[in-house]
Structures are given as structure tokens and as C-alpha cells.
Amino acid sequence: MTVLQWHAVDLGIAEMPEIRTLFAQVFGHSMSDALWRWKYDAGRGIATGTRDEQGRLLAHYGGTARALQINGVAVNAVQLGDVMVAAQARGILSRRGPFATAATAFLQHHIGSPGGYALGFGFPNQRHTRLGEKLGLYNALGNVQELSWTCEKTSTSLFFGADSHSTPLDWSDARTDNLLNGLWRALSQDARGFVIPRRDAPWWRHRFANHPEGPYRCWWVHGRWSRRLLGAIALRPGGQPGANWEILDLLGPTKHWHAMLCAARLLAQQGAADRLTGWFSDAVADIVRNQDLGSIAASQVACPHCVTRQRSPEWADVVTTQPWWLTGGDTDFR
């Protein structure tokens, strides 16, 4: 096998069986037909692959459309994901290897070109971040941190002091989308100095209500006495008693985040969780730490986040100089 015989190809629904086979080999678990369609079908996603001289799929580099808001302007971006290389080709890390062939073709064809996306961003692991930087594909922007809080039974009184209560979000209620959009508008005002992926009602519905496999649950958070809507939270419950619960997103003005985080921690406690965890980019983690939850958050680095070096000129600088607003719900794997 020589690098000259590897070539990039577009991948779509016709190649889904091959893609799912490669996914299982690389990640050790399967990708269902429904999950592939949730990510890529109906124009939501695009993918490029590398084939060898026998036509075997050696690498896959995918992305899903995701609107960003930058300084109040909507920007069409693509979120990178499902980056995978077959075991027999994983050690070939040259600029013309299987990974670089697929990634370079994807970025050149789909980002910064007429009719393409303005930029790409993603959450590669440490190894792929270093490789992407070495190959001139990515700029590492910073880290996503995992914060966590204990859910001791003895801390119940702290939550009642938050003057808030939560009710399950009803996706069939005709008012739900308008309420979510209102919370998004309020949050977007607080995040004007950030690069923030859009969090309107269609995205929340797609991410948390329509996910074919995610055990996500969403709640409204209201003032305990005023009954005024403060925000919405998206959680992933633990699979069994004692398992951690995870907060995926908080929607609403940051002045109400204390109440929203307290509500999330109380829900986790009521669900018999030992801890509540959440992923936040560095700058958002700082905002979260400033909320007094009655317990100091433990913190560790979860993963890097990056932006493609290939991007439209008008956004080339701002996406590396402004902080990014990211939570676990912005990934496609939490």
C-alpha cells in the first residue's frame, strides 16, 4: 500500500453500513442507523473518507451543521465529529496519510469556500489535537473542564434556600418553543462577548428531545414564590442509583444560574446520584464557579476544544481571540 493510492471520497447514506462498521471497530461500540440519521441525514451532516486501492474505507471525517452567534451575528459553522481511522492505518500520521487525506479534503471542500461553512470547530481528544496542530489543520483554543458537586442528603436545606422549583419540560406543549426562544434571547445577550453555538428551540428539540438514544430530561426552573420562569436545564440521569447525573445545558440569563444549578443538583440528589457533573469551556466554568452551591466544585480537564485553521477571512481572528461558550450539550457524544 502506498500513499499515492489513497484517495478522498464523499460519504453519504449509501456508505452508511461501511461507516457504521468502521465506527464499531474504532470506538468499540455500535452506531445505530437512527443515530447516524440523527447526525447526518436530511442535510444535517457531511462526511469525507479515505479509501485504499482496494476500495476499503480507511478513514472517516464528519461534521454536522451548527449555527454560531458571534457579536450578535449568525454564522454558519460545522461541528467536527466521528473522526476515525482503521486500525491498520492508524500509525500512518503523515501529511498524506489516511487521516490527513480525509481531513484536508473535508476542510478544503466544505469550509471557507463559496457555499460552504465559515469555520469548523470540535472536541478532539488530546492525541487528535496534537496531530491536527502538527498537520496544520486546527488551532487549539483551550480546555473543556468537568466540574462536579457532591449530592449529600445533608445538603437539602441549601437547595430550598435557592427560592426556586423545577417542573418537567413538556415537548408537546404549544408554548414550549416560544419559552425556549425567549430564554435563548436572554442568554445570548449575556454571551455577546463570546463565540456561542446557537441554543434556540429547534436546536434544543433536536438535541435533547429527538436524540434516538440519549436518556435526556429537561426541566423548567421557576421562582419558588413568584412562579416566574428563570430558565431551563437539560440533564442526563445516571443509569442506576449512585451513578452521576450530568448537566448538559443551562438556558436563560446568567443572573439565574445559581437557581438553575441548585435545581439541577437537587434533582440529581433526588435521583440518588452521588455527584452532579458538567462540562464547560474555561470561561463558562469561571461563571459557574461563581455560583454558590454550598459545595466547592471539583474540577478536571475533560478535553480540548479547537477551531479549524481553514475559515472564512471575516471570522479568522475573532474566533481565536474571543472566548467560546461551550457546555457538554454542545458535544455529540455526551
Query: Residue 29: CB partners within 8 Å, gap ≥ 6?
Result: none
| Beta-bridge partners for 115 | none
Determine the pLDDT at residue 328.
98
**Cβ neighbours of 28 (radius 10 Å):** 7
b/e code 158-195 from CB counts within 10 Å (16+ = b): bbeebebbbeebeeeeeebeebbbebbebbbebbeebb
Local confidence band at 1 (pLDDT 50, 70, 90 cut-offs): very low
Any long-range contacts for 167-175 (C-beta under 8 Å, 24+ apart)? Answer: 167/219, 167/220, 167/222, 168/217, 168/218, 168/219, 168/220, 169/218, 169/219, 169/220, 169/232, 171/205, 171/209
pTM over 0.95: no
Largest CA distance in the chain: 70
Residue 27 CA to residue 35 CA, distance in Å, equals 15
Local confidence band at 87 (pLDDT 50, 70, 90 cut-offs): confident
pLDDT digits (tens, 9 = 90+) for 306-326: 999 999 999 999 999 999 999
Local confidence band at 94 (pLDDT 50, 70, 90 cut-offs): low
Residue 186 CA to residue 199 CA, distance in Å, equals 11
| Beta-bridge partners for 146 | 279, 300
Determine the pLDDT at residue 224.
84
Is residue 4's pLDDT more than 70? Answer: no
Determine the pLDDT at residue 138.
92
Q: What integer is the mean pLDDT of 275-292?
A: 95
Phi and psi angles of residue 207, each rounded to the nearest 5 degrees, phi first: -70, -45
pLDDT digits (tens, 9 = 90+) for 32-51: 999 999 999 999 999 999 99
Helix orientation angle between 33-40 and 16-27, rounded to the nearest 10 degrees? 110
Residue 33 CA to residue 52 CA, distance in Å, equals 25
Q: Are 279 and 299 in contact (CB under 8 A)?
A: no
